[in-house]
Amino acid sequence: MMNCHKIRVAALITVALVLITACGCKKQSPVQPLPASNEVAGWEKTGETRTYTAATLSDYIDGGADQYLKAGFKNVSTSDYKFEGKIEAVADVYVMANADAARTIFEADPSGSAKTVPLGDAARASSQSVVFRRGPFLVRIVAYQETPETPQALQQLGQGIEKRLSK
Amino acid sequence: MSDKQNPSRRDFLKASVAGAVALGAGDALAFANVLQPGGPKSRVVIARDAMLRGSGSTIDATRMRALLDRAIEASLGTKDALAAWKQLVHPGQVVGLKVNTIAGRGLSTNVTLVEAITERLQQAGIKPYDIVIWDRTGHELERAGFPLSSAAGKVRCIASDTVGYEDTPEAHGTVSCRLSRILTRTCDVVINVPLLKDHGLAGVTLSMKNMYGVIDNPRNCHDGGCNPAVADVNMLPTIRKKVRFIIGDATSACYHGGPMHKPEYVWQPDSLIMGSDPVALDFTAWQIIESKRAEKGLRTLEAEGRPPRYIATAADAQHQLGTNDPKHITLVKV
């Protein structure tokens, strides 16, 4: 009877530790890559940071998840932003297993008419997006509005994220 | 969209009237007739308005309503859009609009389109509260521009993650899924309002793949390029019974990088793709995506190792969800 009680207690402690670990993994990332409001001039962080692990990535990017998982994926942090109250954007920071994995994802998409911009190890920008990689990080920033200011504003937010990643 | 796939309005109505599908008064059997092998051809309507956005980038609500009217008249063979809506729905029914919002506002079912549909449904006699805009999560709906609401007397906008899923799964073939209670309990009839997209695994997503937003375990259904899971999900009895019609949103679409929003691969076909045969619609969607990829100098989906095999599976003898044979599809461009 006493052994049975000890086993139950041990099982409960184990379950509790697993849950605590799992919750911790979901809410915290080793790197906090997304800038706070006005950390980058003009950019307000309008949403909470959400983090997805390998187990939950498909909840975020559905069929896009497989490509990341195959390349070597750890987690992604994402948040909504707004620039000077008029340009809305979403920033994703993918933490890949290593720099090769980040390169694999970065190079998987055709560059098309995108321009090269000075961010990270490699970067490209279009009228409504900036994508760059730095070491094991793959960063994608997408704007919902296409304005003359959008490309420069996205690049500045990218610089703010890169600054955090280099800490 | 290339001119071949989506001509200007001057290239008006190229369909054979003889191939038109005569739909009944809105019961499930009338739609099932479309899907019988050897039965009448499946009609797929592509309606386009080159001036949908006027001279700007925002869709004009008046032009959207006109485009929707033109599309549904061509789809159901009427000269009166309201008569067409009355074939699809009846007063007293709760009508669900299953949108697609996973990719956020930049690449989700267009809000102006959904507003036009809800307006026409009300004109057809559906009470506002009996119209239910829904998807899998409230967060995604709100990010896509659909504020959640359950207020009396107003159009509802609700999500499966709060309403919940059935305890008992439905199963077919490789899938066993708990269905959203919005489908099983709230709605009498569902109009599928998906978005035309490239898809990293499935190849293409329009009508059938959007049913992944109805089940509790989509992450278990992506193996093998989502084949045969997409076809199997669409075989689930409640989905077959309640999902009556498809209004595919091709106002914006992506030809690469989907299903997420990557603006560099998005274009504006400014079109609707409409019909009741999900296989025929998805087959047509595939041709449109391939045409755009070719225009952009990209490899075919087959060459990229991700052709939408689930379309042929859905048409096979075990599923018979519709036709993927161009000879049995009447493509109407208006």
pLDDT tens for B310-330 read 999 999 999 999 999 999 999
Check if B102 contacts A (Cβ < 8 Å). yes
Instruction: Check residue B39 and give its pLDDT.
Output: 57
Tokens of B291: 């045409």
Residue pairs spanning A and B at CB distance below 8 A: 68
Q: A107 and A127 share a domain? A: yes
The reply to whether residue A109 touches residue B256, judged by beta carbons under 8 angstroms, is yes
Instruction: For residue A12, name the pLDDT band (cuts at 50, 70, 90).
Output: low
**How many helices and strands (H and E) does chain B possess?**
12, 13
Indicate the pTM of the whole model: 0.84
DSSP output for B61-92: HHHHHHHHHHHHHHHHT-S-HHHHHHHH--TT
Q: Are B168 and B132 in contact (CB under 8 A)?
A: no
Mean pLDDT of A48-58: 94
Q: A13 and A90 share a domain? A: no
Collapsed DSSP state (helix, strand, coil) of residue B158: strand
The reply to whether residue B218 touches residue A128, judged by beta carbons under 8 angstroms, is no
Q: B267 pairs with which residues across the strands? A: B253
Domains in chain A, number: 2
What distance, in Å, lies between the first and last C-alpha atoms of chain A?
Answer: 54
Collapsed DSSP state (helix, strand, coil) of residue A54: coil
Up-side HSE of residue B12: CA atoms within 13 Å toward CB? 3
Q: A19 and A74 share a domain? A: no
**d(C-alpha A124, C-alpha A131), whole Å:** 6
At residue B264, φ and ψ (nearest 5 deg) are -65, -15
Q: A132 and A119 share a domain? A: yes
Q: A56 and A117 share a domain? A: yes
Q: pLDDT tens-digit profile of A151-167?
A: 999 999 999 999 999 88
The reply to whether residue B105 touches residue A109, judged by beta carbons under 8 angstroms, is no
**d(C-alpha B72, C-alpha B297), whole Å:** 34
Q: Are B259 and B204 in contact (CB under 8 A)?
A: no
Instruction: Check residue A75 and give its pLDDT.
Output: 97
Mean pLDDT of A128-136: 97
Tokens of B225: 């390029």
Instruction: Check residue A13 and give its pLDDT.
Output: 64
Q: A70 and A127 share a domain? A: yes
The reply to whether residue B104 touches residue A90, judged by beta carbons under 8 angstroms, is yes
Q: A1 and A45 share a domain? A: no
The reply to whether residue A64 touches residue B222, judged by beta carbons under 8 angstroms, is no
**d(C-alpha A29, C-alpha B74), whole Å:** 53
**d(C-alpha B77, C-alpha B26), whole Å:** 14
Q: A62 and A19 share a domain? A: no
Closest CA to B316 of B222, B239, B238, B230: B230
Tokens of B118: 């809800």
**Domains annotated on chain B, with CATH:** 44-50+59-333 (3.40.50)
User: Angle A138-A139-A145 (CA atoms, 0-180°, nearest 5)?
Assistant: 150
Q: A2 and A49 share a domain? A: no
Domain interval for residue A137: 32-165
- The CATH number covering residue A87 comes to 3.40.1000.70
The reply to whether residue B256 touches residue A127, judged by beta carbons under 8 angstroms, is no
Mutation test of the interface with chain A: which of B260, B293, B296, choosing the one with the most A Cβ atoms within 10 A? Answer: B260
Q: A20 and A44 share a domain? A: no
Q: A96 pairs with which residues across the strands? A: A73
Instruction: Check residue A113 and give its pLDDT.
Output: 81
Instruction: Check residue A167 and give its pLDDT.
Output: 80
Q: A147 and A125 share a domain? A: yes
AA letter at B26: G
What distance, in Å, lies between the first and last C-alpha atoms of chain B?
Answer: 14
The reply to whether residue B262 touches residue A129, judged by beta carbons under 8 angstroms, is yes
If you measure CA to CA, which chain B residue comes closest to A59? Answer: B219
Residues of A with CB below 8 A from B102's CB? 61-62
Q: Are B242 and B188 in contact (CB under 8 A)?
A: yes
Provide the shortest C-alpha distance from residue A106 to chain B (in Å).
12
Instruction: Check residue B40 and give its pLDDT.
Output: 76
If you measure CA to CA, which chain B residue comes closest to A109? Answer: B257
Q: A44 and A125 share a domain? A: yes
Residues of B with CB below 8 A from A128's CB? 106, 263-264
Chain A residues with a Cβ under 8 Å from any Cβ in chain B:
58-59, 61-67, 80, 88, 90, 109-110, 112-114, 126-129, 140, 142-144, 146
Nearest to A64 among B105, B200, B264 (CB): B200
- Which of A5-9, A159-163, B239-243, B283-287 has the least mean pLDDT? A5-9
Q: Are B58 and B105 in contact (CB under 8 A)?
A: no
